[in-house]
Amino acid sequence: MSLRKRLSSSDILIAPGVYDGLTAALATDAGFEALYLSGAAVAYTRLGRPDIGLSTASEMADTMALIADRSDLPVIMDADTGFGNALNARRTMVSYERAGAAALQVEDQTYPKRCGHLSDKSLVSRAEMADKIAAMADARRHDTLIIARTDAIAVEGFEAAVDRAGAYIEAGADVLFIEAPRDTAELGRIAQTFKGQVPLLANMVEGGATPISSAQDLQAMGFDIVIFPGGIVRALARTAHDYYSSLKKAGSNIPFADRMYDFDGLNEAIGTPEMLALGKRYDGTS
Ligand SMILES: C[C@](O)(C(=O)O)[C@H](CC(=O)O)C(=O)O
């Protein structure tokens, strides 16, 4: 089902963050209906660095292509600022579509951007961002959704964020994402203001500016999509930290065994038996 069609349903869409073939495979097997390719998760895992605009558009497109090889689910792709001005954003649209994205999220920060939950962000003008959205809409070759994000709450205040969001819908945004509301009341006001105009996205960042709500509560407020972009990295980083400490201390993985897949367990999780059976089917002997 196309992402646009799925968003016409009244059930909120939960898109967990992924950043490679493994996380895409595991999230797909868990039964989600869409994935979120998080720029933060790519920076955290590939670079071991913060989400401050260090990853390149081509690194992101390569990652998208690997995920599309491994999962048939629609992928919402983080396009940051579009990597520059409107012309850069047009090119980002075309290359991310080619890599397999079903939706591109673009934000009104200056380039290079930073995580929406870090301080000291700066914005391009409302008019520049509106033109960037229109440029991306004109450049797309498929029914790729444009998710317009404003980071204005932290920079210009809540009312300005609402004004910007209205302008971005007028410019052609298919989905609205107001980044980092500071409390549940602000989340509720966003839903009340824009419900019924375009689908609304909420972003749950553990320990970030917005208190964590469940998908059920966000749906009751009026949200249509919720992303959990970096949760998987926070979970895996914590496990990796504990794993390396344990291995260093014990000189073996025996103390950690009940927190790990063994050889067969991992092979099962990534579909090794099915791949080997497929190989046999095409090995010229049957
Ligand atoms: C949504 C986001 O842009 C992302 O890169 O996934 C980040 C999330 C994060 O930093 O954990 C954001 O700016 O909110």
Q: What is the ipTM of this complex?
A: 0.97
Q: Return d(Cα 115, Cα 205) in angstroms, integer.
A: 10
State percent of the chain over pLDDT 70: 100
Residue (of 45, 32, 54) closest to 115 by Cα position: 54
- Does the Cβ of 226 fall within 6 Å of ligand 1? no
Which of 35, 36, 51, 52 to probe ligand 1 with, by most ligand atoms within 8 A of CB? 51
Instruction: Domain ranges for the chain, please list them.
Output: 3-230, 237-280
- Does the Cβ of 205 fall within 6 Å of ligand 1? yes
- Over residues 133-144, the mean pLDDT reads 98
In tens, the pLDDT along 12-62 reads: 999 999 999 999 999 999 999 999 999 999 999 999 999 999 999 999 999
- Does the Cβ of 80 fall within 6 Å of ligand 1? no
In tens, the pLDDT along 225-261 reads: 999 999 999 999 999 999 999 999 999 999 999 999 9
pLDDT higher than 90, residue 1: no
Whether domain 3-230 has CATH 3.40.50.1860: the reply is: no
Which of 83, 115, 177 to probe ligand 1 with, by most ligand atoms within 8 A of CB? 115
Claim: this prediction has a pTM higher than 0.95: yes
> For residue 53, which phi and psi values (nearest 5 degrees)?
80, 25
